[in-house]
Amino acid sequence: MKKALSILFISFIAFSCSVDPEIKPIIIEDEIKEVVPEGWPTPVYNFSNNPLTPDGFTLGRYLFYDPILSSDNTISCGSCHQQFAAFANAGHDISHGVNGLLGTRNTPAIQNVNWLPTFMHDGGINHIEVMPLGPITNPVEMNETMVNVVAKLSASGKYKQLFTKAYGDDMVNSQRIFKAIAQFMGTMYSYNSKYDKVKSGEESFTAQEQAGYTLFVQKCSSCHKEPLFSDYDYRNNGLVAFADSGRAHITGNASDRYKFKTPSLRNIEKTAPYMHDGRFYTLDQCLNHYVSGIVSTPSLDPLLTGGISLNTQDKSDIIAFLKTLTDTKFLTDSRYSEIK
């Protein structure tokens, strides 16, 4: 029925576009479509059960930036996920929720999330559509219930209109909310960095970037695997913060203690501070950790035993390379910005 409705709805839109320009999704400047860049693996999530439409995307965009999702209407997804920081939280080791409460982990970036097999630093959330439940219901983040979210959105004239455009009628339910947010987050693609352009032959690395890339492939890419710059596995990288057991919190296995998911390094220049607890503010600090800061515990990743040997020149070369992962188009793309 949903498919039939959406087909009906699409034809309705197609029809109405020609007769009533006001029905058009006025805030979409470019086409919204599913992207799998050349050479990338098959995404974990596609939109086969969540047909991607400009109006679905637009609803997701409104929801993402709307503090109505929080208990006191002060915190939105976008409060902590800032576009200029690749949707990480610039300058915050950990982020503020409602009532000034602090979380325990660093806000992760949102980009290319359709390739993520799991969500959160500990991988506790298993699907993009149920991912927003975590921050919405967490008492130190948005501290709200889905029952209240549905009630507040149902009472809103603006959302009645947005849900009708996206789904054909104004019924609000959690599935419609989550699918719309998945349309917005799932189309946050970052694949237009200098690195990507070098790979496609449009641009070339400088000598230093090339030297950094060569080192990166030798010393970093077994975990930060191209082209997504993560293997999405869980690893103890020798940070050791005993208060947070990481992956073990989810699996209950002692062998998973202090393991966290390998983060992508795309847009790394913009996503400081770094690590699951946001302890490092510069890329230099991160590299120094791998050179001389590794703390050995039984679950330490075997690849990091003894650290990674890098001299000062190596470090600046690698950082020069990492900056080629910055995707200015993504960071400034008006389709992802807050709707004013």
Partner 1 sequence: MKKILFLLFISVTIISCKKDEVIPPKELPMPDVIDTTGFLEIHIANVVNGAPLSLHTSTYVSSANDTFSVDIFKYYISNVQLVTASGYTYTEVESYYLVDHSQPNSLHLMIKKVPSNHFSSINFTIGVDSTRNVSGSQTGALDPLNDMFWTWNSGYIMAKIEGHSPQSPEPTKKIVYHIGGFSGKFSGIRNVSLAFPNNADVTKNHIPILNLKADINQWFVQPNFSNFSTSYFITSINQESKDMADNYANMFSVVSVVN
Please classify residue 205 by burial: count the beta carbons closer than 10 Å to its beta carbon, then call 0-12 exposed, 13-18 middle and 19+ buried: middle
Residue with smaller CB distance to partner 1, 27 or 146: 146
Contact 328, 51 (CB under 8 A): no
Going 166 to 172 to 178 to 184, the CA torsion angle's sign is positive
Tell whether residue 4 is a contact of partner 1 (CB under 8 A). Answer: yes
- Under the binding rule (CB under 8 A), the answer on residue 48 touching partner 1 is no
- Please report whether residue 152 would count as binding partner 1 according to CB under 8 A: no
**Least distance in angstroms from the C-beta of 5 to partner 1:** 9
Is the CB of 173 or the CB of 210 nearer to partner 1? Answer: 173
Stretch that binds partner 1, among 78-86, 169-177, 185-193, 330-338 (CB under 8 A): 169-177
Question: Shortest gap between Cβ of 151 and partner 1 (angstroms)?
Answer: 10
Specify the stretch interacting with partner 1 by CB under 8 A; choose among 75-83, 134-142, 201-209, 289-297: 134-142
Residue with Cβ nearer partner 1 (122 or 196)? 122
Pick from 119, 109, 8, 128: nearest CA to 60: 128
Which range binds partner 1 by CB under 8 A, 32-40, 57-65, 244-252, 270-278?
244-252
Interaction of residue 234 with partner 1, rule CB under 8 A: no
Which residues, at least 6 apart from 56, have a Cβ–Cβ distance to it below 8 Å? 50, 166, 167, 179, 180, 183
- Report how far residue 23's alpha carbon sits from residue 26's, in angstroms, rounded to the nearest whole number: 8
Question: Which one of residues 87, 159, 167, 178 is an interface residue with partner 1 (CB under 8 A)?
Answer: 178
Stretch that binds partner 1, among 106-114, 128-136, 230-238, 319-327 (CB under 8 A): 128-136
- Is the Cβ of residue 91 or residue 117 nearer to partner 1 in the bound state? 117
Phi-psi region of 275 (alpha: psi -120 to 50; beta: other; left: phi over 0): left
CA distances from 290 to 119, 210, 293, 294, 315 (A): 25, 21, 6, 6, 11
Contact 302, 287 (CB under 8 A): no
Residue whose structure tokens are 């995404």: 43
User: Binding to partner 1 by residue 150, rule CB under 8 A?
Assistant: yes
For partner 1, which is the closer residue by CB, 186 or 273?
186
Q: Residue 288 and residue 283: Cα distance in Å, rounded? A: 9
Residue closer to partner 1 (CB basis): 129 or 317: 129
Alpha carbon distance 82, 188 (integer Å): 12
| Chain contacts with partner 1 (rule: CB under 8 A) | 1-4, 49-50, 120, 124-130, 133-134, 136-138, 145-147, 150, 173-175, 178-179, 182, 249-250, 252
